Amino acid sequence: MAFLLYAIGYPVVGVGFTGTLATSRPKLGEHRLHLSTRTSDRLWVSTVTLSKGLRNREEEDMVASNLLLKAIANACKVPGTFVSELTDSEVPDECEKQFSEDEELEQLINGQICFKVYPFSSEPHMSTAERKIILSGSFNPLHEGHMKLLEVATSLCGNSYPCFEISAVNADKPPLSTSQIKDRVKQFENIGKTVIISNQPYFYKKAEVFPGSAFVIGADTAARLINPKYYDGNYKKMLEILIGCKKTGSTFLVGGRNVDGVFKVLEDFDIPEELRDMFISIPEEKFRMDLSSTEIRKRLEK
């Protein structure tokens, strides 16, 4: 849930705690507590067994609270001094796992985490922007058209955090390998632009993972989004899914694109009335660049 709500560029941490502590009546079992923290690249777990009869409930609560605060500080890499209230016999049983970049990406591909952010952008205004403006694609390769499209879309959206997004999982192709992902990420590192790697190939799922975002798409993608053919031929199902996207606060910024040899813009399509305010046209005079990654790859292969 933290990953769904957080602002790009700000790390999040998950914290878990449970325990069985002193009560007003003697306990048959041990007095113990379990703590865990999880960040994008680290998992830490600790179990502490307290000496029975040494402390009352309030004192055990204080010990547990201090240990929990220390765990959160360590996970957030916040320096601080914590006085240990444990005795020599109360030794925490700890386990820590540090994840490599490859392991994080494998977890993403396998659905254990939703996405991984590479916050390469250092532009200062982005730290205050709450809304994400996302240009999704394979970016194989990234080209000038992608850059210009996101730039224009950002100018139309005002205070937003622009970023690119690649789904490692494809609806009808094998998932990208970790080496393929890292190769594509390198393109964004070279130009200082933020990229998100997700495992969500469908826009209605992207809208759930990135609620309130503005998604930048081409006219060809907009045409597919409103085509019942891609919803088992069911017009009602298409409406329900896209209205669900709308309820997340998501919008679609639509740039012109060549479709079957003809340049098309949003106004060329019959958007259902219930969805019209979710689609925003990027004027042709602001953006038109007839480039495609497929054409670039073909030229490079010659």
Task: For residues 80 and 107, state if they share a domain.
Answer: no
pLDDT of residue 128: 56
Predicted local confidence at residue 159, as pLDDT: 83
- The more confidently predicted of residues 172 and 116 is 116
Same-domain check for residues 79 and 198: no
| pLDDT over 90 (residue 289) | no
Contacts of 173 (CB under 8 A, 6+ apart): none
Query: According to the model, what pLDDT value does residue 110 have?
Result: 93
Which pLDDT value is given to residue 26? 87
pLDDT band of 3, cuts 50, 70, 90? low
Do 170 and 255 reside in the same domain of the chain? yes
| Residue 44 pLDDT | 98
Q: What is the mean pLDDT of the chain?
A: 91
Distances from the Cα of 229 to the Cαs of 103, 223, 234, 277, in angstroms?
Answer: 37, 11, 7, 22
pLDDT band per the 50, 70, 90 thresholds, residue 20: very high
Residues 210 and 248 both lie in one domain = yes
Listed residues 60, 79, 98: the one ending a domain: 98
Pair 63, 112 in one domain: no
241: pLDDT strictly greater than 80:
yes
Same domain, 86 and 202: no
| Same-domain pairing of 223 and 115 | yes
Structural domains counted in the chain: 2
Mean pLDDT of 297-302: 65
pLDDT by residue (tens digit) across 94-129? Answer: 999 999 999 999 999 998 888 999 999 876 555 556
The residue from 37, 69, 98 where one domain ends is 98
Tens digits of residue pLDDT in 212-238? 999 999 999 999 999 999 999 999 999
Q: Among 81, 98, 115, where does a domain finish?
A: 98
In the chain, the percentage of residues whose pLDDT exceeds 70 is: 90
Shared domain check, 154 and 269:
yes
Q: Which of 55-69, 127-141, 194-208 has the lowest mean pLDDT?
A: 127-141
Candidates 140, 153, 199; CA nearest to 175 is 199
Domain with residue 188: its CATH number is: 3.40.50.620
Predicted pLDDT of residue 4: 55
- Domain of residue 6: give its range: 2-98
Same domain, 25 and 123: no
Q: Kindly state whether residues 194 and 69 are assigned to the same domain.
A: no
**pLDDT for residue 256:** 92
Q: 63 with 197, same domain?
A: no
281 and 173 in a single domain? The answer is yes
Q: What is the pLDDT of residue 127?
A: 52
